[in-house]
């Protein structure tokens, strides 16, 4: 049983999470694994850095003067804070469009204060509050820049989505025709690939010299550097993605995906890491990723001890009065594998 984390109440295991880990280098070697590293996985929002590459490649980012923070917001599952909403609106405005084009739907934002203020103002939730509004704004801007229909950018057949599919297939080195798709929580296509390929894609983004095409290599570099330059845009207050990239100061870029996915690219080692909790429950994801980093020696005795980041390591389970009544503990041992698993095309 590939348990990755146990949830304790008192000293007793109350619930357990199974999971899968793949650690791959930029040459296509699977170095460490746990569970099934070949598990076919929808990386969900962990794909956002790849979905943002066409925003740069097409020239959209240049035309609409995207700052690092704008590109970082395109890669975000943000908390809906004022700074996130303002920046998403800014992208739409520079593209000459409005919020009504956003197809991401609505949900209560993570930022409680923003939600409270909305209710007090007698306003209703709108798509700009969606954690995906940055990504969608970038997609709309791209459609405008390319002279494509900005109203149907979310459909799989639209060139905006077709470009993303091509980027994923290329960087993750997986045949386009073998990538199964479905619809994400925000209405755009999601792509299913083996976990090893997802990790491999993050390794290549961490070592962009492995990407042959000059335009693509430059775009990858600009997007990942934007994430690390403006980590507060990728998540928000007390969010793992933000805390991770703040702590590692330009070394790592990381992104969470729904249904308990997390992906990291490490520029120092050139490793890509992808994890998936089998049951899709997000609560153990960050504790598991911090434990993977610890076992790989990435940031141990340094960035990994950062106060904000280490608050995600084996977090407390609190009761409704704020009393500590248990904990979530990552418990697994990565296995050394060292097998060549990917035919590198470039």
Does 40 participate in binding a second copy (rule CB under 8 A)? yes
Q: Which is nearer to a second copy, 33 or 103 (CB)?
A: 103
Does 296 participate in binding a second copy (rule CB under 8 A)? no
Among 157, 322, 333, 338, binds a second copy (CB under 8 A): 322
Contact 306, 293 (CB under 8 A): no
What binding mask, one character per residue, do residues 238-277 give for a second copy by CB under 8 A, x or -?
Answer: ---------------------xx----------------x
Q: What is the DSSP letter of 4?
A: E
Does 175 participate in binding a second copy (rule CB under 8 A)? no
**Minimal distance in Å, beta carbon 187 to a second copy?**
5
**Minimal distance in Å, beta carbon 261 to a second copy?**
10
Paired sense of beta strands 252-257 and 261-266, if any = antiparallel
Contact 244, 290 (CB under 8 A): no
DSSP string, 27-89: TSEEEEEES-TT-EEE-GGGGHHHHHHHHHHTSHHHHTT--HHHHHHHT------HHHHHHHH
Q: Which is nearer to a second copy, 180 or 268 (CB)?
A: 180
Cα distance between residue 75 and residue 278, in whole Å: 24
Among 93, 113, 119, 346, binds a second copy (CB under 8 A): 119
Helix or strand run (H / E) with residue 200: helix 195-206
Q: Which is nearer to a second copy, 74 or 298 (CB)?
A: 74
Q: How many helices (H) and strands (E) does the chain have?
A: 13, 12
Residues within window 179-218 making contact with a second copy, judged by CB under 8 A: 180-187, 190, 192
Q: Which is nearer to a second copy, 323 or 338 (CB)?
A: 323
Q: What is the DSSP letter of 314?
A: S
Binding site for a second copy (CB under 8 A): 7, 9-12, 14-18, 40, 42, 103-107, 116, 119-120, 130, 132, 180-187, 190, 192, 259-260, 277-281, 319-323, 325-326
């Amino acid at each position: 049983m590939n348990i990755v984390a146990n949830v304790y109440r008192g000293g007793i295991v109350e619930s357990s999470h199974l999971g899968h880990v793949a650690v791959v280098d930029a040459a296509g070697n699977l170095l460490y694994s746990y569970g099934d590293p070949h598990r076919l996985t929808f990386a969900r929002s962990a794909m956002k850095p790849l979905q943002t590459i066409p925003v740069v490649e097409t020239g959209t980012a240049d035309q609409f003067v995207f700052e690092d923070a704008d590109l970082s917001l395109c890669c975000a599952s943000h908390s809906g804070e004022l700074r996130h909403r303002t920046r998403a609106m800014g992208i739409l405005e520079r593209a000459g469009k409005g919020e009504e084009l956003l197809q991401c739907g609505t949900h209560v934002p993570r930022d409680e204060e923003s939600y409270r203020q909305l209710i007090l103002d007698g306003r209703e939730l709108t798509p700009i509050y969606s954690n995906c509004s940055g990504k969608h704004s970038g997609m709309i801007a791209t459609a405008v820049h390319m002279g494509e229909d900005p109203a149907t950018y979310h459909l799989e057949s639209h060139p905006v989505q077709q470009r993303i599919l091509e980027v994923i297939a290329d960087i993750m080195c997986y045949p386009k025709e073998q990538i199964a798709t479905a619809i994400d929580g925000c209405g755009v296509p999601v792509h299913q690939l083996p976990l090893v390929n997802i990790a491999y894609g993050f390794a290549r983004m961490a070592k962009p010299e492995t990407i042959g095409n000059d335009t693509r290599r430059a775009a990858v570099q600009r997007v990942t550097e934007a994430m690390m330059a403006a980590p507060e845009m990728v998540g928000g207050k007390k969010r793992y993605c933000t805390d991770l990239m703040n702590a590692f100061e330009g070394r790592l870029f990381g992104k969470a995906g729904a249904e308990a996915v997390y992906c990291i690219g490490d520029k120092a080692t050139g490793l890509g890491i992808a994890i998936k909790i089998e049951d899709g429950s997000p609560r153990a994801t960050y504790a598991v990723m911090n434990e993977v980093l610890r076992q790989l020696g990435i940031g141990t005795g340094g960035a990994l001890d950062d106060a904000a980041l280490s608050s995600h390591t084996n977090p407390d389970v609190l009761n409704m009065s704020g009393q500590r009544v248990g904990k979530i503990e990552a418990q697994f041992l990565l296995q050394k594998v060292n097998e060549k698993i990917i035919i590198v095309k470039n």
